[in-house]
């Protein structure tokens, strides 16, 4: 590889090659990431004969370097001469598949699986299968765990004799003394079963599945559950009860909650795999037990599957099974002590209404929705409100308003401001679910009442809420419904409410557009510039700065500019400051005002070690003096 140094054009490549040996990890990592550039410069012959042997011999490095190398080699086929020479990539990847760090091994296996598809059937048996056998027979568990992920990619394309050897190696790994190897085998059992012939699934895979599902390590047993679901999809219906179901029933009652959690998590896939008859006889009782499990994690996983499980029940007995077996468990979960369980249930329970119909929804489900709507956990309430449209489709908007809306209104007027805040945050979502007519009739007044709440956080959230509602319902709706009420607050005796008007105009101007802002909002803002309270006046200046970009230039010059110039000479220093800032941002400076703004900014940038005149006598007095000088 040193020969590259004779050609100046290859000097950068020589630098990259030298960096592969550098003591600095970052330099080595950078060079590895540019490995394809090095290979391209060297050519396919030198890449095969020099670069790959070099990489194989120096495989011991920092994990992040090895990870990058494993990833790069997966796309190296073209750089070594195409599929005919792809087997040259196997030695470095084999070494990487045996290292201690899991992520490096996994990436090496991923690359090996990728390049296995580029081997011809002959090369697969000559080069790839021996590699798999070496890994499967390795002294260290690291190589044996890597081998588990390679059986399924080579099995379909080899001869019957080699297939028998591969099955034997996989059987050996499934009974390995090391739990990590058995865990890797269990995780790939379902994948391997999918490429086997049906007879071998019954004769080889089923015994392995049964053994792994009874393993002493729960980490192995839970992975066997996932494999069981895959195996169930491969077997004829008549073989399921005898070959798979006894093991899965055992897993659903396993002493380890992690195994039961996996059963609950894969329950809908299992239900589809085993069919309606086994679902009625075996899965319904098992699902009931999972919903009543002593561990909250298991109950939450099962609760999350309630809707899907009920949808996939046999149609002729669906309602009976739900009302008799599932609904009593659901009623208990609504008041569960664990918030994750309640939240998982709340995310799916509304979907039951479309399955059970109007009468059952009104009689049995609505009381449960009300309980969850008043739950102390915000996520539970959000999940209920987010899915109101499911119930609306079944029972109609009037029934919904009579049952659930009073609870929402009650929460909106709760004595605790954080509860009120939570409902405000859900209001745009709720409005979208219910539609504009219903919203105007039932909830509009509530949204306006929040604008005069005694807690600032509520008023602020209510302002943002109005903006989101206008985005949802449109500017015309805002002009007819919201804007008149907001502008009416400008005459309120409480200055905080007058300031809220300005905050609302700030938020609404952008979504309402130029016409509504100029015609309706701007006159109110300009009128408020003479307010007796200084806080209102300086917020007028800030508001004009905010809505200025929405207005056209004629309105800015004729209406906004005179008001800001007047505020710039206000006796209150904060009013002056924000007026001058607005003039500067909106580029409305006259010559005198520009000098004043420039002076203000230069004064504020004076070094802290050398106090300016404004620092000594006060910024307000100083601004006033200069305003008088320029006037």
pLDDT in tens, 12-61: 556 666 666 667 777 777 777 777 887 887 788 888 887 888 777 766 66
Distances (CA, A) of 302 to 207, 267, 314, 350, 372: 28, 8, 19, 16, 18
Q: Within 13 Å of residue 269, how many CA atoms lie on the same side as its CB?
A: 16
pLDDT of the residue at 614: 38
| Interacting residues of 630 by C-beta distance below 8 A, sequence separation 6+ | 592, 593, 595, 596
- Per cent of the chain over pLDDT 90 is 32
Asked if pLDDT for residue 3 goes beyond 60, the answer is no
- Rounded CA separation 612/236 (Å): 90
Q: Could you tell me if 153 and 113 are in contact, meaning their C-beta atoms sit under 8 angstroms apart?
A: yes
Q: Could you tell me if 314 and 276 are in contact, meaning their C-beta atoms sit under 8 angstroms apart?
A: yes
Asked if pLDDT for residue 283 goes beyond 60, the answer is yes
Mean pLDDT of the chain: 83
Q: Which two tokens stand for residue 265?
A: 């998590």
- Per cent of the chain over pLDDT 70 is 89
When pLDDT is cut at 50, 70 and 90, the band that residue 262 belongs to is very high
**Helix, strand, coil % over all residues of the chain, rounded to 5:** 80, 0, 20
Return the closest-CA partner of residue 502 out of 451, 550, 569, 468. Answer: 451
State the DSSP string of 568-606: TT-SSHHHHHHHHHHHHHTT---HHHHHHHHHHHHHHTS
pLDDT of the residue at 577: 92
pLDDT of the residue at 285: 93
pTM: 0.69
Asked if pLDDT for residue 604 goes beyond 80, the answer is no
pLDDT of the residue at 145: 93
From 155-164, 399-408, 561-570, the region with the lowest mean pLDDT: 399-408
- Rounded CA separation 505/521 (Å): 7
- Rounded CA separation 55/63 (Å): 14
Asked if pLDDT for residue 95 goes beyond 90, the answer is no
Q: Could you tell me if 248 and 270 are in contact, meaning their C-beta atoms sit under 8 angstroms apart?
A: yes
From 386-390, 422-426, 428-432, the region with the lowest mean pLDDT: 386-390
pLDDT of the residue at 17: 64
The residue-averaged pLDDT of 585-606 equals 56
Q: 14-20: list long-range contacts, CB under 8 Å, 24+ apart.
A: 20/54, 20/58
Q: Could you tell me if 430 and 471 are in contact, meaning their C-beta atoms sit under 8 angstroms apart?
A: no
When pLDDT is cut at 50, 70 and 90, the band that residue 589 belongs to is low
pLDDT of the residue at 1: 47
Return the closest-CA partner of residue 171 out of 186, 156, 157, 161. Answer: 186
Q: Could you tell me if 512 and 475 are in contact, meaning their C-beta atoms sit under 8 angstroms apart?
A: yes
Asked if pLDDT for residue 623 goes beyond 50, the answer is no
Range among 44-48, 88-92, 344-348, 405-409 with highest mean pLDDT value: 344-348
When pLDDT is cut at 50, 70 and 90, the band that residue 306 belongs to is very high
Asked if pLDDT for residue 611 goes beyond 60, the answer is no
Task: Name the DSSP letter for residue 491.
Answer: G
Give 477 or 6, the one with higher predicted confidence.
477
pLDDT of the residue at 615: 39
The residue-averaged pLDDT of 82-86 equals 85
When pLDDT is cut at 50, 70 and 90, the band that residue 392 belongs to is confident
From 72-76, 282-286, 333-337, 549-553, the region with the lowest mean pLDDT: 72-76
The residue-averaged pLDDT of 184-204 equals 90
Q: Could you tell me if 522 and 552 are in contact, meaning their C-beta atoms sit under 8 angstroms apart?
A: no
pLDDT of the residue at 59: 63
Give 581 or 433, the one with higher predicted confidence.
581
Q: Within 13 Å of residue 293, how many CA atoms lie on the same side as its CB?
A: 28
Over its C-alpha atoms, the chain yields an Rg (Å, rounded) of 36
Asked if pLDDT for residue 625 goes beyond 60, the answer is no
Asked if pLDDT for residue 176 goes beyond 90, the answer is no
Return the closest-CA partner of residue 128 out of 101, 100, 156, 107. Answer: 156
pLDDT of the residue at 590: 57
Asked if pLDDT for residue 11 goes beyond 60, the answer is no
When pLDDT is cut at 50, 70 and 90, the band that residue 621 belongs to is very low
pLDDT of the residue at 429: 78
Q: Which two tokens stand for residue 368?
A: 């449960």
Give 427 or 184, the one with higher predicted confidence.
184
Distances (CA, A) of 495 to 458, 488, 502, 536: 16, 13, 11, 7
Spacing of C-alpha 423 from chain mean position: 23
Return the closest-CA partner of residue 310 out of 325, 294, 332. Answer: 325
Q: Could you tell me if 612 and 582 are in contact, meaning their C-beta atoms sit under 8 angstroms apart?
A: no
pLDDT of the residue at 605: 45
The residue-averaged pLDDT of 138-145 equals 89
pLDDT of the residue at 14: 63
Residue 373's CB is within 10 A of a number of other CB atoms, namely: 20
pLDDT of the residue at 609: 39
Asked if pLDDT for residue 336 goes beyond 50, the answer is yes
Give 394 or 527, the one with higher predicted confidence.
527
- Rounded CA separation 451/424 (Å): 11
Spacing of C-alpha 213 from chain mean position: 33
The residue-averaged pLDDT of 479-498 equals 90
pLDDT of the residue at 403: 74
The residue-averaged pLDDT of 377-400 equals 77
């Amino acid at each position: 590889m040193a020969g590259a140094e004779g050609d100046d054009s290859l000097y950068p490549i020589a630098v990259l090659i030298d960096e592969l040996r550098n003591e600095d990890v970052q330099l080595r990592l950078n060079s590895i990431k540019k490995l394809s550039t090095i290979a391209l410069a060297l050519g396919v012959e030198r890449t095969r004969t020099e670069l790959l042997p070099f990489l194989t011999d120096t495989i011991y490095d920092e994990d992040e370097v090895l990870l990058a190398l494993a990833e790069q080699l997966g796309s190296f086929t073209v750089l070594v001469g195409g599929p005919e020479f792809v087997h040259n990539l196997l030695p470095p990847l084999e070494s990487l598949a045996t290292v201690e760090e899991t992520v490096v091994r996994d990436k090496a296996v991923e690359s090996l699986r990728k390049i296995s598809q580029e081997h011809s059937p002959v090369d697969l048996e000559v080069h790839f299968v021996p590699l798999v056998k070496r890994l499967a027979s390795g002294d260290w568990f690291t190589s044996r765990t890597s081998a588990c992920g390679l059986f399924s990619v080579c099995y379909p394309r080899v001869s019957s004799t080699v297939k028998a050897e591969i099955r034997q190696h996989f059987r050996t790994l499934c009974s390995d003394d090391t739990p990590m190897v058995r865990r890797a085998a269990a995780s790939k059992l379902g994948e391997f079963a999918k490429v086997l012939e049906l007879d071998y699934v019954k004769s080889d895979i089923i015994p392995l599945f049964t053994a792994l599902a009874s393993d002493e390590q729960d980490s192995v047993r839970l992975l066997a559950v996932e494999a069981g679901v895959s195996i169930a999809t491969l077997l004829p219906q008549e073989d399921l009860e005898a070959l798979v179901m006894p093991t899965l029933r055992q897993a659903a009652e396993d002493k380890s909650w992690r195994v039961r959690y996996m059963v609950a998590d894969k329950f809908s896939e299992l239900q589809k795999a085993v069919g309606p008859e086994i679902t009625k006889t075996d899965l319904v009782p098992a699902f009931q037990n999972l919903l009543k499990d002593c561990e909250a994690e298991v109950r939450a996983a099962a609760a999350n599957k309630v809707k899907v499980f009920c949808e996939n029940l046999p149609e002729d007995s669906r309602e009976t099974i739900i009302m008799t077996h599932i609904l009593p468990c659901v009623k208990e979960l609504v008041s569960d002590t664990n918030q994750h369980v309640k939240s998982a249930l709340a995310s799916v329970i509304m979907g039951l209404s479309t399955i059970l119909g109007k009468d059952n929804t009104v009689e049995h489900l609505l009381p449960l929705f009300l309980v969850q709507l008043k739950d102390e956990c915000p996520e539970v309430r959000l999940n209920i409100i987010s899915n109101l449209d499911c119930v609306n489709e079944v029972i109609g908007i009037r029934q919904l308003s009579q049952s659930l809306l009073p609870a929402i209104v009650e929460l909106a007027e709760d004595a605790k401001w954080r509860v009120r805040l939570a409902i405000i945050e859900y209001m745009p979502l709720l409005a979208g679910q219910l539609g504009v007519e219903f919203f105007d009739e039932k909830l509009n007044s509530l949204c306006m009442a929040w604008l005069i709440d005694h807690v600032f956080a509520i008023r602020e959230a209510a302002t943002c809420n109005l903006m989101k509602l206008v985005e949802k319902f449109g500017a015309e709706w805002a002009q007819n419904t919201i804007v008149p009420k907001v502008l009416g607050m400008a005459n309120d005796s409480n200055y905080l409410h007058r300031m809220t008007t300005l905050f609302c105009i700030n938020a609404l101007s952008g979504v309402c557009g130029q016409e509504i802002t100029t015609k309706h909002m701007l006159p109110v803002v300009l009128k408020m510039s003479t307010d007796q309270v200084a806080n209102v006046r300086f917020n007028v200046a800030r508001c004009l700065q905010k809505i200025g970009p929405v207005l056209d230039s004629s309105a800015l010059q004729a209406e906004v500019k005179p008001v800001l110039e007047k505020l710039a000479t206000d006796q209150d220093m904060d009013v002056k400051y924000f007026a001058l800032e607005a003039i500067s941002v909106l580029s409305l400076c006259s010559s005198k005002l520009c000098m004043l703004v420039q002076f203000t900014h230069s004064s504020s940038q004076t070094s802290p070690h050398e106090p300016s005149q404004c620092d000594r006598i006060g910024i307000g007095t100083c601004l006033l003096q200069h305003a008088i000088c320029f006037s």
